[in-house]
Every structure is written in structure tokens, then in C-alpha cells.
Amino acid sequence: MIDQYEVRAIDRPKAHAHGHGFRVVAASTSLDLADPFTDLRLSVDLKQAEIHDLGFYNRYFPADCRLAIVAGVGRLTYHFEGNSNERSLHGTMNFAMQDLAMRFEETTLTGDILIASRLRSGEPREKRFDIGGTTITLQHRHPSWSGVIALPEADLVFSDPMRVSARVGLDLQDTLPLVRIFDAYKDVSRFVERLMTIENVRGGARIVAGDAGVDIRDLAITGDGLKALAEMRLGDRGREGILYLRFHGISIGVRMEHGRKRDYKIVRPLAWYEKMRAMRAAGASQSMR
């Protein structure tokens, strides 16, 4: 039992977290001192850790994402259990971030985030973890806004930058935070901002992110007056992929390719999108053989 402690990264002079109530219990039936851990059961509990420098986690963002944590405090609790015979590691972790301020370009969004993580399995030496079943609850104060992001499937590798493969579900009050970020990028008018604010957003996608960029697959989102489908890749060279959008009764298809102007489809755009999606899937299947 460790009553008081601090956490500091090797390459940083100051601790980014401190807390109390860190408890480790280990049990083993093996008495062989030459190989003492052939049978080891381990439980780890943390009552509460306070992360007073959330900016520490900016190191896990891709370098070109233009998103940064600028303020906020975090509180972390967890319980993990491991078994060397079963080669298993599982548990739960709750990470509450209060007054979190995230900046994109010139826009800063402030609110609270609660990450309720479920560790199904883990490989600590490889820094690889299965956290399927995790939920992320979002609260924005001014204006009042809420949303939930669910990760029914999710694998994380804590590299630099982080690698992620996840199936994501969305349940958002509306698209206002996304519109604010888009406004910071494109400087849209207030009329366009109101037009783009869609209520009751539901849907999901599969996301794979790593060194080379972000792949968004099987994206399907609906809302009041909105239907969006997409297969897209975001990388150093820009965007590549296909998009179908039905927005307030108007439908359009878009193809994006590196180094080329966007190709817009207005004649039977949904049929065009489904055909292109099938062709991309067939091409990906061939390349894997």
C-alpha cells in the first residue's frame, strides 16, 4: 500500500499526476525462487489520482491534427487483475476530466469528459489493450450540450503517436461542437452555421488511426434532415475517399483523390456511392491476397 505518490514521464522534469491509495496485492503458489512467477495472481487498485497537467496527453495526438489540450484537471481511478497462468489482464478504469479546454485553430471548446473504460485484455509489454465496451460521456456548458461516444470494439497501442482500431457509435444532442470546429477551419457565416447544426445525431463508423493517418470506414450517420455515408482516409497528403450526403432534402456524392479536384455526383448519388464502395472493398480484398 502506497499512501502518497507522484507520476513523472522519463523525459519530463515535473510530475504530471499525483495521488494516494495505490494498492498492489500479489499471490503465488510457486516457491521456486529460480522461477518465482510461474503462478502469479495480481490485483492493482488506485483510489484516486489527480492529473493536474492534462496537456501531458498531447503527446499521443498525431503531430498534424492541429488539436491540443490547453487546460483542465483529471481524476483517475482503476482496478485491474492479472493471472500469469491464464495470461490474462482485465479490469475497469474511470477517467474524469473537468473544465477540459481543447483548442483547434482559433476555437476552444470547454466542458467535462468522463471515460468509463473496460479493459477486456491487455499485453502490457507491447502496450496493447482491448478496451471494447468503453463509453465516453461529453458535457459542454455554454451552450449546454451533451453526447455519448461508445466503443463496442476498441484496441489501443500506446505508441507515439497512439495507434487505434475501433468501432465507434455516436449519440449526440446535435452537431454544434463539430460546426464550431469547422467554423474555425473555414470561417463560415452564422446562417451556414445554423444550417449545419443538426439535432439528434446517431450512427457510427470503424476508425483505424496510426502513423500514416486515419482511416474512416463504414461511416453511417443520421440526424434531423441528415444522412451521411463515407469511406475516407485522412493523411499527410490530404483527404481521399468517397462521401454520400443527404442534407435537408438535397443529395450529393463526392469523390476525393490526392492531387485532384473533388468530383461531385448529383445523378443518383446513392447508387453511385454504393457502386464505388463495392469497388473499393473488392480492391482492398485483392490487395490482401
User: Residues 272, 182, 238, 153: is their CA dihedral positive or negative?
Assistant: negative
The whole model's pTM is what? Answer: 0.77
Q: What pLDDT sits at residue 152?
A: 95
* DSSP H/E element including 134: strand 134-140
pLDDT value of residue 185: 56
Instruction: Write b or e for each residue in 76-108: b if 16 or more Cβ atoms lie within 10 A of its Cβ, otherwise e.
Output: bbbbbbbeeeeeebbbebebbbeebebbbeeee
Read off the amino acid at residue 289. Answer: R
Question: If you write DSSP's letter for every residue of 215-250 in order, what string do you get?
Answer: EEEEEEEEETTEEEEEEEEEETTEEEEEEEEEETTE
The answer to whether the beta carbons of residues 231 and 216 sit under 8 Å apart is yes
Beta strand 67-83 with 88-104 is antiparallel
pLDDT of residue 278: 92
- CA–CA separation, 121 and 90 (whole Å): 5
Question: What DSSP letter does each residue of 81-94 carry, written as one string?
Answer: EEETTTTEEEEEEE
State the number of CA atoms in the 13 A half-sphere of 114 facing the CB. Answer: 8
Digits of tens for pLDDT over the chain (289 positions)? 677 888 777 777 788 888 888 888 888 777 665 565 567 788 888 888 899 888 888 887 766 667 889 899 999 998 998 887 767 788 999 999 998 988 877 778 888 999 999 999 888 777 889 999 999 999 987 778 899 999 999 999 887 777 899 999 999 998 877 776 666 556 666 776 777 788 999 999 999 987 777 899 999 999 999 999 999 988 777 788 999 999 988 999 999 887 788 899 999 999 999 999 999 888 766 655 5
pLDDT of residue 68: 86
